[in-house]
Amino acid sequence: MAKKGNKIVNYSVYIRQDGKAKKIGDTTSVQLPSIEMLTDTIKGAGIMGELDWPSYYQPGSMTLTINMRVTGEDLALLAGANSIEIRWVTDVFDDANVKVGINAHKAFIKCINKKIDEGKLEPGASQDGSFEYEVFAYKRIINGKEILNIDKFNGIFAINGKDYAKDVQAAL
C-alpha cells in the first residue's frame, strides 16, 4: 500500500496555560523549527579538503515563527507563551486502494519569545506581523505516533522512539 502525502488542508495554533489549550485565531502561517546540528570544520591528513562535521546529536538554535494577520487580544497571549501546540492535517492518497484520507499532525513546542514584529500599518491592508521563539523542546506526532522528540534541557534526541543521545547521557 503506497500512501502519498499531498498538501496541508488546514492548521490551528494553541497556547497551553494552566493545563488548558487556548486556540489562537488570525494566524496566517507557521514556520516550524529547522533542525541543524552544531558543526566544526575539520581538515588534515587523510581528508581531502575539509569537512563541516556535525556534533553527535547536538542541535543548534531552533526557531519557531508564527505569522499573523492583525494584532488582537488572543494574539497578545502569544507574546508570553512558552508552551505552544500546532495541529494540522495533510491529505493523503492511497494509490493501491484508490482512497483519499488524512494524516493528523501535532507539534508540541516549549519555547521563549525572542521577537515580536507587530507589522506595518496601512489602510485597507493586513498588519502582517510575526512572533519568533527560541525552541528548547520540540516533539512531533503523526497519527498518534511520536516521530521526533528533541529536548535540549533533558538531553533527548529521539527519532521514531529511539533516543540517539541516550549514550551521551549515560556516559555523563
Per residue in 158-169, pLDDT tens? Answer: 999 999 999 888
Q: Residue 150 falls within a domain, yes or no?
A: no
Q: Residue 56 falls within a domain, yes or no?
A: yes
**What is the DSSP secondary structure assignment for residue 36, as one 8-state letter?**
-
Query: Cα-flanking dihedrals φ and ψ of residue 135, to 5°?
Result: -100, 130
Is residue 1 predicted with pLDDT exceeding 60? no
Question: Residue 55's domain spans which residues?
Answer: 3-41+49-138
Tens digits of per-residue pLDDT, 28-53? 999 999 999 999 999 999 889 999 99
For cell 489549550, the residue is 21
Q: Residue 152 falls within a domain, yes or no?
A: no
* Dist CA 75 CA 71 (whole Å): 6
Is residue 60 predicted with pLDDT exceeding 60? yes
Contact present, 132 and 114 (Cβ < 8 Å): yes
Q: Residue 87 falls within a domain, yes or no?
A: yes
Per the structure, the count of domains in the chain is: 1
The model's pTM: 0.89
Q: Residue 144 falls within a domain, yes or no?
A: no
Is residue 77 predicted with pLDDT exceeding 90? no
Q: Residue 170 falls within a domain, yes or no?
A: no
